[in-house]
């Protein structure tokens, strides 16, 4: 929960705007400011104070307990111009909160954390448990001192300015080792513990077995990603409680799936009980990996629990990111976050130029020119398979006539894939024109480079007969000048000559140009590849110069009846 505190009418107005935007996330604290700050500090994970930073510092000073315990605090000035990350920038999430608050209120986020200011990822913000000298190693990175990266377990990390050797070290490991004086340990979630248990097995027995197995194998409990077992044990209290105490999810598999897994120690007992000759080993190995701890039984007599431990290799990560139509303020925060997270960026050169300033130092950029979509998709997937965190970028929404389709056609289940939606050209153009997409609509690309014209023509004809609003992508180029006239002629066979048509070039960009004309009046020669053409349906009207398609046909009928 985010506590909101203000002292003046101006602060309260901004506070209420934030509360209205985040009704489920925020709680307003009324009353004397000092009392409100103390209450929110004790009860909330984060605070936004609409007060002067000096006043907040004095109020917070006696409440501070430590970096790991204090909530994140953001201050917003009375004029609503700045959102200052004051306390708990990383551990408390105040840096990210300042950016979020700034986006809602139109304020400039102010982040002074050294790594953020330098564009480096904080070692305590990578989403991995960490141990050791975070401050010292971070300072070395900032000062340009050589910091070595020792990845005992491969894991997709954001770009870090590391060297082959150095006096400081970042070690990615799941082994139970202590951090050195100039070292940070990052704990990847690489370990899967398979567990089996008799009915009624105590949680203490299951937990003790898991802890002992990890300890004797020299493995860190902080790298355990999940407990795994057979479906029949999904509600076994001892297993459920052990997972809760370890703070990891419990994952279960059907007996027939586990029975197909080759294991070194099958047994007749689980086969008779739950239908698979192995539970612990099979559940740990079912998604692949290296068996580090073969099946072992608990020390109790009789033993009521078994476990096995597997190390799964780190999976590369491919984020397919839509950049929107071009304007920076239409790039989503999620897209910007994925760009900062990526250690490898793959994209069309002109799109890379749009967002190059958002990349962290050290990001490897693989760019190419027009017409190399399949090559870029293969490159991005290959980089993810090599264990990297990859962002593959496209304009608009990456899933709409862009890079998601060729990339996902190349990708298999050996990498993690994340889709990041973006504002499409059709939506950006629609917002400029008014509300042309208020009822059912369809987008059709007129490019026949990948789709035969016969197929495109059949789709245009179907849209015309179905009275759908049509948005044409790739409407006309120097080498393709007849497709748009042909498509418009098909639509004209089903719609009045006065049907509104919206033409938007470079939607949302500085040289944006838009006009609304009629179907019979549109000159295709004025259209190019940077243009989106939206043709209304029989209900679409021009109202005050805008193009409007009502949500239903009753509106049209009522207007016709009033004439």
pLDDT tens digits, 108-117: 888 887 666 6
Indicate if the pLDDT at residue 561 is higher than 70: no
Q: Is 434 helix (H, G, I), strand (E, B) or coil?
A: strand
**504 neighbors 439 (Cβ within 8 angstroms):** no
Indicate if the pLDDT at residue 219 is higher than 50: yes
Residues 6+ away with beta carbon under 8 Å from 120: 138, 141, 142, 160, 161, 360, 361
With cut-offs at 50, 70 and 90, classify the pLDDT of residue 458: very high
- Rounded Cα distance, 502 and 519, in Å: 9
Nearest to 471 by CA among 519, 437, 505: 437
Alpha-carbon dihedral sign for residues 554, 557, 559, 561: negative
In 510-557, DSSP assigns E strands to 513-518, 531-535, 541-543, 546-548
- Rounded Cα distance, 121 and 275, in Å: 48
The percentage of the chain sitting over the pLDDT mark of 90, rounded to a whole number, equals 63
Query: How far does CA 160 lie from the centroid of its chain?
Result: 20
Q: Is 445 helix (H, G, I), strand (E, B) or coil?
A: strand
DSSP class of 242: H
- Rounded Cα distance, 176 and 131, in Å: 11
* pLDDT tens column, 282-341: 999 999 999 999 999 998 889 999 999 999 988 899 999 999 998 998 999 899 989 999
Give the global pTM.
Answer: 0.74
Q: Which two tokens stand for residue 401?
A: 């006539």
Q: Is 506 helix (H, G, I), strand (E, B) or coil?
A: coil
- Rounded Cα distance, 536 and 465, in Å: 13
With cut-offs at 50, 70 and 90, classify the pLDDT of residue 220: very high
* pLDDT tens column, 501-521: 999 999 988 899 999 999 999
Dihedral Cα 28, 32, 37, 40, nearest 10 deg: -40
Mean pLDDT of the chain: 90
Q: Which two tokens stand for residue 163?
A: 């060297």
With cut-offs at 50, 70 and 90, classify the pLDDT of residue 563: very low
**394 neighbors 347 (Cβ within 8 angstroms):** yes
In this prediction, residue 524 carries a pLDDT of 93
Q: Determine phi and psi for 184, rounding to 5 degrees.
A: -120, 130
**138 neighbors 115 (Cβ within 8 angstroms):** yes
């Amino acid at each position: 929960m985010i506590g909101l505190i203000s002292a003046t009418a101006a602060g309260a107005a901004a506070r209420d705007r934030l509360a209205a935007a985040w009704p489920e996330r925020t709680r307003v604290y009324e009353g004397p400011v000092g009392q409100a700050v103390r209450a929110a500090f004790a009860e909330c994970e984060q605070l936004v104070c609409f007060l002067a930073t000096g006043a907040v510092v004095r109020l917070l000073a006696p409440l501070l307990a430590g970096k790991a315990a204090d909530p994140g605090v953001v201050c917003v000035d009375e004029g609503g111009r700045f959102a200052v990350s004051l306390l708990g920038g990383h551990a408390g999430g105040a840096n990210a909160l300042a950016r979020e608050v700034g986006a809602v209120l139109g304020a400039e986020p102010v982040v002074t954390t050294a790594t953020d200011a330098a564009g480096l990822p904080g070692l305590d913000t990578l989403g991995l448990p960490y141990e050791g000298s975070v401050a010292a190693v971070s300072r070395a990175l900032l000062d340009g001192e050589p910091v070595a990266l020792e990845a005992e377990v491969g894991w997709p990390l954001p770009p870090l300015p590391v060297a082959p050797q150095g006096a400081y070290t970042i070690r990615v490991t799941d082994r139970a080792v202590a951090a050195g004086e100039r070292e940070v340990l990052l704990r990847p979630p690489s370990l899967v513990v398979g567990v089996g248990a008799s009915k009624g097995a105590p949680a203490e027995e299951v937990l003790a077995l898991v802890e002992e197995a990890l300890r004797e194998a020299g493995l860190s409990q902080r790298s355990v990603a999940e407990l795994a077992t057979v479906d029949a044990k999904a509600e076994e209290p001892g297993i459920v409680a052990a997972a809760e105490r370890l703070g990891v999810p419990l994952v279960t598999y059907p007996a027939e799936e586990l029975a197909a897994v080759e294991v070194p120690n099958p047994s007749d007992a689980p086969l008779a009980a739950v239908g698979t000759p192995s539970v612990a080993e099979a559940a740990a190995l079912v998604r692949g990996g290296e068996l580090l701890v073969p099946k072992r039984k608990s020390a109790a007599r009789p033993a009521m629990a078994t476990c096995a431990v597997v190390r799964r290799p780190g999976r590369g990560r491919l984020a397919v990111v839509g950049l929107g139509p071009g304007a920076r303020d239409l790039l989503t925060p999620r897209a910007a976050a994925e760009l900062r997270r990526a250690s490898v960026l793959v994209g069309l050169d002109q799109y890379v130029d749009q967002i190059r300033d958002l990349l962290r130092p050290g990001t490897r950029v693989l760019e190419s020119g027009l017409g190399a979509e399949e090559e870029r998709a293969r490159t991005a997937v290959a980089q993810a398979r090599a264990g990297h965190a990859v962002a593959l970028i496209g304009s608009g929404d990456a899933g709409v006539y862009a890079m998601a389709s060729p990339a996902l056609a190349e990708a298999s289940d050996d990498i993690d894939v994340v889709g990041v939606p973006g504002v499409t050209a059709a939506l950006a153009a629609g917002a400029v024109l008014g509300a042309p997409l208020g009822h059912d609509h369809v987008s059709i690309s007129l490019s026949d480079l990948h789709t035969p014209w016969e197929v495109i023509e059949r789709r245009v004809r179907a849209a015309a007969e179905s009275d759908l609003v049509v948005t044409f992508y790739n409407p006309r180029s120097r080498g393709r000048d007849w497709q748009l006239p042909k498509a418009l002629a098909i639509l004209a066979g089903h719609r009045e000559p006065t049907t509104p048509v919206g033409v938007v070039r470079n939607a949302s960009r500085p040289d944006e140009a838009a006009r609304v004309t009629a179907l019979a009046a549109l000159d295709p020669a004025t259209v190019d590849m940077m243009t989106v053409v939206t043709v209304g349906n029989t209900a679409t009207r021009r109202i005050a110069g805008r193009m409007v398609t009502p949500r239903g046909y009753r509106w049209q009928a009522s207007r016709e009846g009033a004439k």
